[in-house]
Amino acid sequence: MNILYACDDGYAGYTGVSITSLFENNKDLGEINVYIAGYNISNENKEKFENTARKYSRSITIIDATPIENILKNMPLNNSWNTATYYRIFIDQLIPKSVDRILYIDSDTLVVGKLHELEDYVFDDDKACAMTLEPIYNCYLNMIGLDDGSLYYTAGVILYDIANWKRLNCNAKLIHAFYEGHGRYFIADQDIINHTINKNIQVLNPEYNVMTIWCQLGAKNAIRSRKRGTDETNFYSSEKLTHAIENPVILHCINGFLGLPWQKGNKHYFRKEWKYYRNISQWNDMEEIVFNKTLTFYIQIIVDKIVPKFIYARLIEIYRRLDFGKSVKRFYEAEGAE
């Protein structure tokens, strides 16, 4: 099985922890080839990747992403994001030509289950990749050029069918969309992927990208927290989400409101799992990052402990609706200013 990560040296340690969890929990897979699209990776981290591969008798290949960085320097991007997040749209330029299927995984993840079923995953002829769902408000969908009720996908885990990706000309379409001005959308390449190749994406089961908030609230309340009107037409059923929470394959350690697992004093729901894999990895000496615990952080701890989950879900839904509304307003104001 072929796996791709993308990072610069600052995220190499988190990538290493994720790879360690991948190897630990997939020892029954006959072959795992990990590719890291890396930029400015230090010799120290390169050695740790080599030691990780040697420990598990697996393959880790670091691909120099400098040529992609040089392309990105001349592209109109949303500069609030690390450029490594854009590498995945250049997938067919990064990996060896012999690779026909590859699973991209974000660095802020833990692979806690088995991936073998993805080896036999069947793509429709008009689908270039498979991604998990996230329901988004219609005002935001319209902003990125999609119709009301369209499916919206998250880019933290992507299974690629490289032949279909090339045949459907996805890379060229995405680059063209950047130059049309769509690179200014807020959620980096995720928005532009949804804008440009939405019809060429297949739905991936939720256990391959389990979000923090799902585990925090439980399936029914997690659905309530996403947006009003969320149902099986634009998201997963409660039964499917429950199965994913109880049988996760990939945990995505995105920031809820309780800090990140590698931050000092965090209350993240996956902190124990992350520390376990860090401690058995080559990066077991990685120090926790000190972060600014705002008043919001402490309020969230209290709310998480004492407020009923269905009320907490409603509060999150209101916050998300207001936040997305502000993003849309800022976008159109910027468009008008030009």
What are the tens digits of pLDDT across the range 183-215? Answer: 677 787 899 999 999 999 999 999 999 999 999
Confidence of residue 45 (pLDDT cuts 50, 70, 90): very high
Mean of the per-residue pLDDT values of the chain: 91
Q: Is 160 helix (H, G, I), strand (E, B) or coil?
A: strand
Q: What residues have CB less than 8 Å from 288, skipping those under 6 apart?
A: 262, 263, 264
pLDDT, residue 103, reads: 98
- CA-angle at 323, arms to 301 and 204, nearest 5°: 85
Residue 188: C-alpha distances to residues 80, 85, 101, 154 (Å): 8, 7, 24, 11
Residues 165 and 92: beta-carbon distance below 8 Å? yes
pLDDT, residue 134, reads: 92
pLDDT at 80 over 70: no
Q: Rounded distance, CA 335 to CA 329, Å?
A: 10
Q: Indicate the DSSP class of residue 155.
A: E
Confidence of residue 238 (pLDDT cuts 50, 70, 90): very high
Q: How many domains does the structure of the chain reveal? A: 1
pLDDT, residue 188, reads: 74
pLDDT, residue 37, reads: 95
pLDDT at 295 over 90: no
For the residues 292-317, what does the mean pLDDT come to?
A: 87
pLDDT, residue 333, reads: 79
CATH for 331: 3.90.550.10
The size of the chain, in residues, is 338
Q: Which of residues 292 and 302 earns the better pLDDT score?
A: 302
Domain housing 170: 2-337
pLDDT, residue 293, reads: 80
The pTM of the full predicted model, rounded to 2 decimals, is: 0.94
Residues 159 and 118: beta-carbon distance below 8 Å? yes
pLDDT at 179 over 90: no
Largest CA distance in the chain: 56
pLDDT, residue 256, reads: 63
Q: Rounded distance, CA 56 to CA 282, Å?
A: 12
Residues 115 and 299: beta-carbon distance below 8 Å? no
Residue 71: C-alpha distances to residues 37, 68, 74, 83, 86 (Å): 14, 5, 6, 11, 11
- Residue pLDDT, tens place only, 90-99: 998 899 999 9
Q: Which of residues 74 and 151 earns the better pLDDT score?
A: 151
Residue 107: C-alpha distances to residues 8, 41, 58, 110, 170 (Å): 10, 14, 18, 8, 23
